[in-house]
Structure 1
Amino acid sequence: MADKKKYRAVISGLLVVTLLFLLANGHPCDRQCETNRQPMTCEYDFVIEWYATMSKACFDCPNVTLDCQREHCIAADGFPRAGTFVNRKLPGPSIVVCHNDKIIVRVSNKLDNSEGTTIHWHGIHQRDSQWMDGVPMITQCPIPSHTSFTYRFTANPSGTHWWHSHSGFHRSDGVAGPLVVRTSQEDNPHSALYDVDSDNFTVMIGDWLHQTTIEKFVQHHHSNGSNKGENILINGRGDFSLYASNLTDYSTLLTRFNVESGLRYRFRIISNAAVFCPFQLTIDQHSMLVISTDGNDVEPFNVTSLVIHGGERFDFVLTANQNPLSYWFRVQGLADCKLSSQKAILRYVSSLDELKPTSFPLPFNDTVELNSLNKAKSENVHYVTALRSVVKLDEKMRDSPDEVHFIGLDFKKVDNPRFHHPNYYPIKGISRGNHLYSPQLNNITFLSPPSPVLTQFADANSSLMCDSSTGENVPDTEVPTTKEFL
C-alpha cells in the first residue's frame, strides 16, 4: 500500500512539472507586441470530435485532484456527458496574437455522425477575406465529416474576441474558445492602467447542460421539455450539487486566478451563453475598472457588478489591493439561468490559505452596477450607453445616415410548420405550456439557402427571396400559417 501511494505521488509530481512546463512554453505568437515589428504567421491545428467529460483520461478525478488536470481530461463540473470538443479541451485552445498577424487554423472535422461544421471568428472584420468568416451556407459550405479546411485571415481589429462553431449545437456543446488580438503599448490607450495582460486572466463563462443540446432542443421544441442548462462553467470548470435528490455532490477543481499584491491585472471576459442567460459578475471586496467592450476601447468606468450577455466581451482592470487572502469570483445566472450560479477563486499568492475563500460580497449600498437586468437607471445602476469610446468620431461624418432601416425582432405566435402543424396541433389549439413561439425579423423566418450566398448567389432559388413587402405581415393576435423565407 505504501509503495502504491509513493508511486502515485511520483506520478502526480511529474504531472505538475509537465503542466508547469506547458504553461511556461506557450504558442510563440503569444508575445509582447511591438510597433514596427513584422507580423508573425500564427498556425494552429483544431481537431473537432465527439468526446466526453469525465472520460477514462480523468482516472480517479475528482477523488484525486491532480487527476482532474490530466491531459485530455475534461472534468467540467464532474457530471459525465457527451459533447463536441476541440483538441479535447474545454474551453477550446486560446489564440493570442498581435495586431495584423496572419492566422492560419487547420480544422479537421472528426465528428463521427457525418455532421458538417464551421468555425466563426467572432469580432474579426474579415476585410478582403469574407469567405473565411465561417458561417455555413452564407460564406462557406460546412466542412464535411472526416475532411479538413484551412482558415487564413488577418488579426484585425485588436481586442478581445472569440471563436466558436456556427453549425448545429456544437458551440453550446463545447466548440468555442478565446481569440485575443493585442497591440503595442504605443497603440494601446490603456497600457498605463495595468501591469499584467496574460492569457491566465482570459475568462470564458457559459451555461452548461447535462445532456447534449440536441436532446434538449428536441424535447423543448416538440414536447414540454426544458431548454435550460443545469449549471454554469468558468473556464470550463465548476462545482455541481444534486441538492434535490440528495445524491453525492460532484466536486471538481474550480478555476483559480493567482494575483500578487499591488499589481493591476487586465481581465478579458467572454460570454458563451447558449440561451437567454445573462451573467452577473462580482468579485468579493474588489472593484472592476471597465476599459473595453466587444473589442472597442472605452473611457475607464469603475463598477463592482457587471452583467454580460451571450457573445459579449468586457475587459476590466482589477487592482490587487485587498488583504492577501482568497476571495470568491462570483457568477450569478439571470433570466433563463436564474437558478444557476458558479464561483472561481481570486487568490493572492502571498496568502498561506489554501482553503476555499470565506469572503462575502460588497454591501448592496456600496455597489455600482453596469448593464443590470431590468433595473431603472440611477446613481448606482448604469448601462452600456454610459460608456464612452476613446476613439472620437470623424468630423467628416454626416449628421444623418444615408439610409435608415428598422428591424423588428420578436417571438411570434404563428404556426411554424416545423413545430406546430396547422391541422393536427396548431399553436392555438394546444395547451399554453406547449406553445413554441417563432423568432422572426420583420415577420420573416430565416431558411438556410441551398448554397453559400457569398460565393454562389446565382444558385439560390429566387422564389425563396423575400422582404417585408412579400412576406406575411401579421399581428401577434392572429394565428396564421407561417412560411420560411430566406
Structure 2
Amino acid sequence: MARSPHTPFFALIFLLLCEYATAKTVTYDFNVSWVNVNPDGLAERRVIGINGQWPLPVIEVDKGDRLVVNMYNGLGDKNTSLHFHGMFQTNSSYMDGPSMITQCPIPPGYSFTYDFTINQNGTYWYHCHTDFCYPDGYRQALIVHDRDAYFSSQYQEEFIITLTDWYHDLVEDIRFLSLYNPTGAEPVPNSFLFNDTQNVSLSVKPSTTYLVHFLNVGAFVGQYIYIEDHNFTIVEIDGVYTEPTEADLLYISAAQRYTVLLTTKNSTDKNYPIVTVVDSQLLDSIPNDLQLNSSNWLEYNASADHPQAIMKVDTSKELTPYDDLTLIPYDGIKLLPEPDHEITLTVVMGLLNNGFGYAFFDNVSFTFPKVPTLYTVMSAGKLATNEMIYGEYTHPIVLKRNEVVQIVLNNNDNGAHPFHLHGHNFQVIHRDPPYGADFFKYKGQDYVPYNSSDHAAFPPVPSRRDVSVVPPKGHYVIRFVADNPGVWMFHCHIDWHLEQGLALVMIEAPEDIQETHKIPQQQYDICRAAGVPVEGNAAANTKDFLDLSGQNRQKPSLPSGFTARGIVALVFSCISAVLGMAFITMYGLSEPKLIQKDAPNGDERSTIPGSSARDIVEPKVDRAQS
C-alpha cells in the first residue's frame, strides 16, 4: 500500500498530543513566615520558613509541566518575592521575580501567584529576590526531571546535595554597608551547611549508580567538593547536559549547579567522607573557630566507622578542580558567530561620599528605579527602545531581537565573582587566567583586561551555563543570542555584592515584550498595595519619559584630593591633637594628688580642694555603646 504523504505531519501531531497529555500542573501553596532553627548546633536564629517548616520543600516537576506557586507573605515585617533561578520565563519575564525589575515587592499580608510552564530540564533552585533576603534561609532546590535525558537509563536512584554558607544573624542586623565597614569586606559566615545541617550520612546501596544534584545555594562563598576514593561523571551544569566527563574534584560557586553520575562500590565494608572545602581566598579574615573543611558521609554501612576526611591538601589554595570551561554541551551547539552587539564592562570596588563600600560596573553602582523596569517598557510606547528612560543608575542596555551579544567582563578586583544572567544560559568562550594554580588566588598581580587581538582560540563547541566565575584581576568573555524578549538582570550572585550595586539590567526586544507580555492584574494590585507606581520612566514620570528628574541616584563620588572643608577639618584635628598632648603632659608633671585614707569601707578616692570625697562620683559607662 502506498504511504500517505501526510504521514509525517500526523506523526508529529500525535507526538505533540502525547507530550501535552503527559504534562501536568504542579501546584505548591507557600505560606512564608518566620521560624526558629539551629542547623549547626551553635546558635538558634530566625529564618524564613514555608508552612511553618525549615528546611524548605524541594520543588520537583517534569519537563513540560506547568508550575503554580501560590505564595502568601506571612512575614509580618518584610516584603518578599520569589525568583526561579535558571528558568527562561519565555514570554513571561513578569514571573521572573526580582523586585523593582519585573514586579513590585509583595507586602506582608498579601498573596502572589507564580504561574509558568517549564520547557527545560535539569538542576535549578528558587530564592527570594527582594532586599537581599535569601541568606535568611529563603532558598531551596528546584529539580526538573527529564525521562528523555540521554543518561536516564544509566542510574537507579538520585539524591540532592545543597551547600551553603550560614550566618547566625539576620541580614538586617549585619553591619555591611556601613561606616563600620569602610573596606566593604564581606561578612564572614559563622559556619557552612550540607543539606541545611551538618554531619550528614547519605545511605547508599553497593553497585548502584546514583544521579546526584549538587547546588551551592549560599550567598557568598564557593566550595570544593569530592568523595574519598570515588569519581564523578559530570552530565549537566546549570541545566545544560554535557558530554559525560570524568572528574574527582568540583568547584561550585554561589548559585552554580552540577549533576553527576556516581557509581558505588560493590562492598559495604566502610563508609567514605564526602569532603567540602571552603574557598578561603574569598574571606578577608578567618576566625579561629570557623571550620573550613567538613566531612559528611557516603554511608554503605550504618554500623561501620564514619571517619573524618584525610585532606588532599592543607588549604583550598592548593586545590585544582575540574575546569568547567572544557565541558562540551551534549547538544553540540557550536560557537556563535561574531557578535552584533558587544558590551565591555569592568568590575570596580570603591567608596562613595557616604563612606560606604560599593561595587560598580565601570562607574555605575546599580540603583533601583522608582518604577519596575518591565512596567516602564509596557507604558513607554515607541520610546521603549530608548535606554535613557530606564534610568542612568540601573545601567540599562537595550538589545535587539535575535542579535548575537558578547559580554567582555574585566575584573579589576582581587576577588572572584560568579555572574548570573537571567532568562538565558550563555557560552563561556574565553577566561583568563584559566583554571589552575593561580585562578582563585590573588597574589598582587596586575589587573589584566581582555585583549581582543591576543587570546587563546575560542572553543568550537563552548561550555554553556547561567553562572560563570570571573577570576581575580582577570576576565572572561561570554556570548548568547537575544532570542527571549524580556527584562533580565545580569549580576554578581554574591548577594553582598548585589547589595553593593554589582548589577545591570538588559531590556531585550522591548517592542516584542509589549506584544507578548500580558501582565496579570494581580501584579498591579500588589504594586498599589506596596505604594509603587506602575507607569512612567525610572523616575515615575508619565508625562515626559525623557525627563529623569527625581530618579533614584547612587551616592555622589568622593572628591579627588581634599576639599577646602577637608583641609580645615584636618588642620583643626591636628591642633586638637597637639593641645590634648600638651594637657596630658602638664597633668603628668603636676603635684601628686592627696589620697584620702579614711574613706568609708576602705575606699580610696582623689581629693580635690574645696570638695569632699563623696563629691567625686564614678562615671557610669555603657560598655555596649563604648
Alignment-derived partner of residue 183 in structure 1: 146
- Note the C-alpha offset of 1:438: 1.6
Q: CA deviation at 1:191?
A: 1.9
Residue by residue over 1:42-95, the C-alpha shift from the partner in whole angstroms, topping out at 9 and shown as x without a partner, is 0001121122114xxxxxxxxxxxxxxxxxxxx443521122222333331111
| Alpha-carbon spacing, 1:178–1:381, altered in 2? closer, same or farther (3 Å) | closer
Picking from 392, 397, 404, the partner of 1:465 is 392
In 2, distance between residues paired with 1:288 and 1:141?
Answer: 42
Partner of 1:23: none
Match of 1:99 among 56, 60, 63: 63
SS at structure 1 position matched to 2:325: helix
For 1:342 and 1:449, locate their aligned partners in 2 and report how far apart those are by CA, in whole Å: 42
Work out the CA distance in 1 between the residues paired with 2:227 and 2:389. Answer: 53
Which residue of 261, 281, 284 maps to 2:206?
261
2:375 equivalent to 1:455: yes
Instruction: Select the residue among 279, 303, 317 that pairs with 1:353.
Output: 303
Distance 1:320 1:341, change over 3 A: same
- The verdict on how the C-alpha distance between 1:398 and 1:210 changes in structure 2, with shifts beyond 3 A counting, is closer
Q: Does 1:410 align with 2:394?
A: no
CA contact (8 A) 1:136 1:142 kept: yes
Where do 1:75-86 residues align within 5 Å?
Answer: 75-86=39-50
Report how far residue 38 of structure 1 moved. Answer: 2.2
What is the SS of the residue equivalent to 1:346? strand
**How far apart, CA to CA, are the structure 1 residues paired with 2:167 and 2:311?**
30
Superposed displacement of residue 213, structure 1: 1.9
Q: In structure 1, the residue corresponding to 2:178 is in which secondary structure? A: helix
Change (3 A) 1:163 1:273: same
Give the number of aligned pairs: 367
For residue 330 of structure 1, the aligned residue among 271, 275, 286 is 275
1:261-340 counterparts in 2 under 5 A?
261-275=206-220, 277-321=221-265, 323-324=267-268, 325-334=270-279, 335-336=281-282, 339=290, 340=292
Matches of 1:299 and 1:163 in 2, distance apart? 26
Alignment pair present for 1:390 and 2:330: yes
User: Contact 2:35–2:53 (CA<8 Å) still a contact in 1?
Assistant: no
Tell me, in whole angstroms, the C-alpha distance in 1 between the residues paired with 2:84 and 2:390. 31
Q: Matches of 2:164 and 2:240 in 1, distance apart?
A: 22
Q: Give the number of the structure whose alpha-carbon radius of gyration is greater.
A: 2
Q: 1:381 to 1:315 in 2, by over 3 A?
A: closer
Distance 1:467 1:138, change over 3 A: closer
Report if the CA contact (8 A) 2:272-2:297 is conserved.
yes
1:343 aligns with 2:300: no
Q: Deviations over 1:377-429 (max 9, x none)?
A: xxx754111111111226xx863121211122221x23253xx1xxxxxxxxx
1:400 to 295, 320, 338: 338
Q: Is the 8 A contact 2:249 2:321 kept in 1?
A: no
Structure 2: distance between partners of 1:166 and 1:222 = 25
- On the 8 A contact 2:35/2:54 being kept in 1, the answer is no
Distance in structure 1 (CA, Å) of the matches to 2:132 and 2:342: 34
Task: Measure the CA separation in 2 of the matches of 1:211 and 1:322.
Answer: 45
- Find the aligned partners of 2:42 and 2:138 in 1 and give their Cα distance: 19
Distance (Å, rounded) in 1 between the aligned partners of 2:145 and 2:138: 23
Q: Which amino acid aligns with 2:337?
A: D
Q: Distance in 1 between matches of 2:88 and 2:186?
A: 36
Partner AA of 1:341 in structure 2: N
In the alignment, which residue of structure 1 is the partner of 2:191? 231
Given that 2:177 and 2:357 are in contact with CA atoms closer than 8 Å, whether structure 1 keeps it comes out as no
**Partner residue, 1:367:** none
Whole-Å separation in 2 of the counterparts to 1:414 and 1:48: 36
SS in 1 for 2:363: coil
Runs of 4+ in 1 over 6 A off after TM superposition: 372-376
Residue ranges of structure 2 left out of the alignment (5+ in a row): 1-17, 397-411, 414-554, 559-626
Query: Structure 1 332/456 Cα, relative in aligned 2: closer, same or farther at 3 Å?
Result: same
Structure 1 unaligned regions, length at least 5: 1-33, 55-74, 239-253, 365-371, 421-435, 470-474
- Deviations 1:229-286 (Å, cap 9, x if unpaired)? 1100111102xxxxxxxxxxxxxxx3321110000001101111212x1101111221
Alpha-carbon separation, structure 1, partners of 2:267 and 2:309: 13
2:227 maps to amino acid: I
Q: What is the CA distance between 1:105 and its match in structure 2?
A: 0.3
Alpha-carbon separation, structure 2, partners of 1:342 and 1:444: 39
Report the 3-state secondary structure (helix = DSSP H, G, I; strand = E; otherwise coil) of the residue aligned with 2:172.
Answer: helix
2:178 matched to which residue of 1?
221
- 1:323 Cα offset (Å): 3.5
Residue type at the aligned position of 1:407 = L
Whether contact under 8 Å (2:348, 2:360) holds in the other structure is yes
How far did 1:373 drift?
7.1
Percent of matched pairs sharing the same residue:
24
| 1:122 is the counterpart of 2:85 | yes
Shift of 1:157: 1.2
The alpha-carbon distance between structure 1 residues 466 and 44, as it changes in their structure 2 partners (threshold 3 A), is closer
Q: In the TM superposition, what is the alpha-carbon distance from 1:169 to its structure 2 partner?
A: 3.4
Task: Give the distance between the partners of 2:218 and 2:177, measured in 1 at CA.
Answer: 17
- Deviation of residue 363 (structure 1)? 5.6
Distance 1:220 1:38, change over 3 A: same
Quick check: 2:84–2:97 contact (8 Å CA) kept in 1?
A: yes
Asked if the contact 1:328/1:345 (under 8 Å) is kept, the reply is yes
Q: Is the CA contact 1:195–1:264 (under 8 Å) kept in the aligned structure 2?
A: yes
Structure 1's 456 and 399: CA in aligned 2 closer, same or farther, altered over 3 A?
closer
CA distance in 2, matches of 1:405, 1:375: 34
Deviations 1:142-196 (A, max 9, x none): 1110111010011231110000001123210100011111112xx2122243222
Flag the 1:255–1:128 CA change in 2: closer, same or farther, 3 A. Answer: same
Counterpart-to-counterpart distance in 1, 2:395 and 2:85? 28
TM-score by length of 1: 0.69
2: CA distance, partners of 1:124 / 1:462: 27
Q: Secondary structure at the match of 1:385?
A: helix
Distance (whole Å) between structure 1 residues aligned to residue 203 and residue 395 of structure 2: 53
Equivalent pair of 1:196/1:265 in contact (CA under 8 Å): yes
Alignment of 1:119-158 (within 5 A): 119-158=82-121
Distance in 1 (CA, whole Å) between partners of 2:231 and 2:56 is 29
User: For residue 557 of structure 2, what is the aligned residue in structure 1?
Assistant: 482
Question: Match of 1:315, SS?
Answer: strand
Change (3 A) 1:300 1:361: farther
